[in-house]
Structure 1
Amino acid sequence: MDARKVTRPDPGGVPALNESRSHVLAALQEAARPLSAGEVAKRVRLHANTARFHLDALVEGGLAERNVEDREQPGRPRILYTARPGSAHTGRRSYRLLAEILAGSLAAETPQPAQAALRAGRAWGRYLADRPPPFRRLDADSATRQLVRMLDDIGFAPESTDDGRKVLLHHCPFRETAEEHQEVVCSIHLGLIQGLLAELGAPVEAERLDPFVEPGLCIAHLSPTTSPES
């Protein structure tokens, strides 16, 4: 997924960080020496490729530096990362108040807020999808993996069940707003899932989203579809 689709810099040039990227930056800030992507991955419990994705985004955003290891030993030098001076003062911004204002306004002033939120979520889900090349179909497993990656980038800590019929969302990055305006926020989340799967032309679709089945768990229910979109 294009990192620019999920995390964009603000007009001042400082990127707003999602939870995973904040943890990666914190690992660099706390380290007494430059770290490789593999070392960062172990510290924050991410796959090495995912850690490298976030590290490269931090470099692009000016919060970290990337250098080739200076070594005299045989073997290929490693790529090492360090936090840039001053990055410790650049934390993740909170948009909770803005989210509360917008969700509350939509709920109060829109005749059918859930449907409007669902449409908005679907539009963004389509935008966040990495469509396959023409004439290539993704199978259900591949589409679900891309869905899980997208949800993980946003901060949902998702987990697909072995049968591929559910995606467990262990963390809601908008929990406070969702508890206050569940009809709006959870409809947006369902729309994101539906829109991404539809854009992929996946043979799987999202039937529903069960919010807060436990205090820290929401469940998206998936089912096969016999007519994937072109």
Structure 2
Amino acid sequence: MARSGYSAISSYSRVTILHLLQERPRRSISELCAATDLHANTVREHLQRLGEAGYVVAETERRTTRGRPRVLYSAATGEDAASSAVARDRVRAAAERGDLMRRVIPDSDGGALSEDAVHQLDALIDDLGSDGFDPVVDERALTVDLSPCSYAASQPEQRGRLCSVHLGLMQGVLTEAGGPLVVDGMLPACDPTQCIVQLASR
């Protein structure tokens, strides 16, 4: 489905699980099994891949009654309750690489964005690249062009869900990186493979 065979969201089942967790956090494996009709072992494998990518966080349920506490899963949003250590490490590494590149090739634009915003874009570009995209960023217009979107091309009937999940992931990365940029939405397009995401500065 994606250009990269190693993408954590190259499986539509994982996209579906992420969508469920973005809609409502703190879900158990049994809840996810019931919602997806997938076997528990399959759901566990998908959650492990999503966790390794920094897209899902797990917490142990606090119980006041007897019985083994459940493990509850949420989409990583970058906020305190759903911040991923994996995502934090990736954000830090992306900022360091970006700073190194800017020292080697100075910014001819004169630094239109704040350092925090630039580091957010570093993290976003890194994350999108790992998911098989080749993003083109316009720092002045604050747009991220992901066209052509191979996800939408391979699953046109699921475009709404796919776009919703991807926008949620992008917002999670921006929040984890910290800074003024947020996802504002997608620009309208007749071509389902055209995807331009509009960012905004808070």
Aligning the two structures, in what range does the TM-score lie when normalised by the shorter sequence? 0.3 to 0.5
Instruction: State the TM-score, normalizing by the size of structure 1.
Output: 0.42
Q: Mark the structure with the bigger radius of gyration.
A: 1
